């Protein structure tokens, strides 16, 4: 498990440090996978990782650990089987969901959720279960997937881990509580059965979950609470990393609940819609601002590195375009530039394999479009009109601005024109017509920018990382 706060491997220290380590790895495939996963994760955290497959000191032990994966899922489950599974980093990101699901399946088969330890260390079993629970539940919520862990069948408490306590705040238990809250929201609000619930009842349920989310936030100490200032002088420390994860978990949940609420609120509930839009805008702004604290390295979870910042950038861009007269338009455009700069750094770290620097075009598109409105050359937003034939008084449409950037043509975004200064009440809802976000002349083949609204972007990394089509032996060159 890729979690720096948990020491799940104490029972096997005698093997790892003793002379029988190599022999024991040969005898036990699960232990060999565990041993090499620990080595690989340690290499990653000590600048031994690389975003390109086959490079860096961490890739070879990752390969060895992964080669044992078929034996892990096909043999009789033990505690070591669950410990040996790694997830939540750029290594083998294509099967990250499968790895996390297998870990959750194993701990449930072992009965760890029912306090069935069978001679194993109780504290160690509780740690393994709740790490698997936190990973599986948060991933299910982020990726909108069904969870295989049943909350009603859990009878063990979350253990207290001294290494995970920061100035009196139990980080691990805090994440477990949030994971339980997200699990309830997933099953109540985002399940298929929720579509049969009356809209008023569903809005009431969303309000209740928002209250619970705020209670969880308020239970955290002040200097660790989401929204508090991050200390730049501890950047790169375990405290900074943990606090950043807490912030991203919280604000991604705020975004998910707000977007769901906006999709079902009727047009006559103006005040409630505006309050929800304000929460969504604030969460997006905070996430983009927090990108300056993200350590761009291979051990950083993909959802922090790419998914959540991408969603925040597109939400902010959508708001700027549909609400150009908003009082914070200029600062929002500046934040778009901040986000674009962050992704330029990600592209540099990725050696240009993912062309995220093209997101800087979004900031320029928004800036040019707003400038055209401020100059008095447009009275309506996105109004269908005839192409400009030398008439400098013609209205600059958004698609015209984009065409000058990407040299492509775009259909009108709305069937009806919108008055300048008016607020589109559906500005945050993912529209079926998202053609304004296409930049066909810049992104690699089969890289559809519109789908980056989704919280899971592992499928976009597949073609740029590891190729499994020729078996595991072709994944890495010999190091």
Q: What would the pLDDT profile of 420-447 be if each residue is shown by its tens digit? A: 334 343 333 333 333 333 333 333 444 3
**pLDDT at residue 173, as a whole number:** 93
Domain containing residue 320: 293-479
H or E segment to which residue 240 belongs: helix 238-264
| DSSP annotation of 387 | P
What number of other Cβ atoms are within 10 A of residue 443's Cβ?
A: 17
Phi/psi at 170 (5° precision) = -85, 95
In a domain, 113, yes or no: no
| DSSP annotation of 419 | E
Contacts 24+ apart (CB under 8 A), 278-284: 279/254, 280/254, 280/255, 280/315, 280/428, 281/315, 281/316, 281/319, 281/328, 281/428, 283/251, 283/254, 283/255, 283/258, 283/312, 284/255, 284/311, 284/312, 284/313, 284/315, 284/316, 284/319
In a domain, 178, yes or no: no
**pLDDT at residue 430, as a whole number:** 38
In a domain, 203, yes or no: no
For residue range 174-190, what is the model confidence (pLDDT) as tens digits? 999 999 999 999 999 99
Read off the pLDDT of each residue in 285-296 and give the average, rounded to a whole number: 92
In a domain, 445, yes or no: yes
In a domain, 418, yes or no: yes
Higher pLDDT, 353 or 129: 129
In a domain, 61, yes or no: no
* Res. 18: pLDDT tops 70: no
Burial label for 88, CB within 10 Å (0-12, 13-18, 19+), is buried
**pLDDT at residue 326, as a whole number:** 85
In the structure, what pLDDT confidence band is assigned to residue 86 with cuts at 50, 70 and 90? confident
* Res. 201: pLDDT tops 50: yes
In a domain, 255, yes or no: no
In the structure, what pLDDT confidence band is assigned to residue 51 with cuts at 50, 70 and 90? low
In the structure, what pLDDT confidence band is assigned to residue 17 with cuts at 50, 70 and 90? low
In a domain, 128, yes or no: no
Higher pLDDT, 311 or 389: 311
Mean pLDDT of all residues belonging to the chain? 75
**pLDDT at residue 118, as a whole number:** 78
- Rounded to 5°, the CA angle 30-35-37 comes to 90
- How many domains are there within the chain? 1
Q: Let me know: does 330 contact 337? Beta carbons within 8 Å.
A: no
* Res. 87: pLDDT tops 80: no
- Mention every residue, 6+ apart, whose C-beta is less than 8 A from residue 108: 148, 149, 150
* Res. 452: pLDDT tops 90: no
Read off the pLDDT of each residue in 343-370 and give the average, rounded to a whole number: 83
């Amino acid at each position: 498990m890729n979690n720096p706060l948990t020491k799940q491997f104490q029972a096997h220290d005698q093997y790892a440090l003793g002379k029988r380590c190599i022999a024991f790895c040969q005898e036990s495939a699960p232990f060999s996978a565990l041993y090499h996963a620990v080595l690989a994760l340690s290499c990653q955290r000590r600048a031994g990782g690389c975003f390109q497959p086959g490079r860096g000191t961490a890739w070879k032990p990752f390969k060895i650990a992964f080669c044992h994966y078929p034996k892990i899922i096909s043999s009789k489950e033990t505690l070591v089987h669950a410990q040996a599974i790694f997830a939540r980093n750029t290594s083998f990101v294509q099967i990250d969901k499968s790895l996390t699901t297998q870990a959750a399946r194993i701990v449930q088969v072992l009965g760890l959720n029912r306090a069935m330890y069978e001679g194993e260390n109780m504290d160690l079993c509780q740690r393994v279960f709740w790490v698997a629970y936190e990973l599986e539940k948060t991933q299910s919520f982020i990726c909108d997937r069904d969870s295989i862990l049943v909350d009603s069948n859990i009878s063990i408490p979350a253990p207290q881990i001294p290494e995970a306590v920061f100035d009196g705040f139990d980080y691990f238990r805090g994440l477990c509580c949030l994971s339980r809250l997200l699990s309830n929201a997933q099953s109540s609000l985002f399940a298929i059965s929720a579509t049969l619930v009356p809209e008023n009842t569903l809005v009431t349920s969303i309000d209740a979950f928002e209250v619970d989310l705020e209670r969880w936030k308020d239970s955290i100490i002040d200097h660790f609470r989401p929204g508090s200032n991050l200390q730049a002088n501890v950047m790169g420390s375990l405290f900074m990393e943990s606090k950043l994860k807490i912030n991203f978990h919280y604000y991604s949940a705020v975004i998910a609940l707000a977007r769901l609420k906006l999709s079902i609120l009727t047009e006559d509930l103006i005040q409630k819609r505006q309050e929800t839009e304000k929460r969504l805008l604030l969460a997006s702004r905070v996430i983009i601002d927090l990108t300056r604290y993200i350590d761009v390295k291979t051990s950083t979870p993909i959802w922090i590195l790419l998914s959540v910042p991408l969603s925040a950038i597109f939400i902010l861009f959508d708001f700027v375009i549909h609400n150009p007269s908003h009082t914070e338009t200029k600062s929002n455009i500046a934040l778009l530039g901040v986000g674009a700069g962050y992704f330029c750094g990600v592209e540099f770290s990725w050696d240009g394999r993912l062309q995220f620097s093209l997101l800087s075009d979004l900031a320029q598109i928004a800036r040019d479009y707003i400038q055209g409105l401020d100059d008095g050359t447009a009275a309506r937003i996105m109004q269908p009109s005839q192409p400009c034939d030398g008439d400098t008084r013609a209205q600059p449409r958004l698609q015209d601005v984009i065409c000058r950037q990407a040299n492509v043509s775009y259909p009108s975004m709305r069937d009806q024109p919108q008055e300048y200064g008016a607020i589109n009440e559906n500005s945050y809802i993912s529209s079926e017509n998202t053609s304004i976000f296409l930049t066909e002349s810049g992104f690699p083949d089969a890289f559809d920018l519109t789908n980056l609204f989704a919280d899971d972007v592992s499928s976009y990394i597949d073609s740029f990382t590891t190729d499994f089509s020729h078996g595991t032996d072709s994944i890495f060159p010999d190091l």
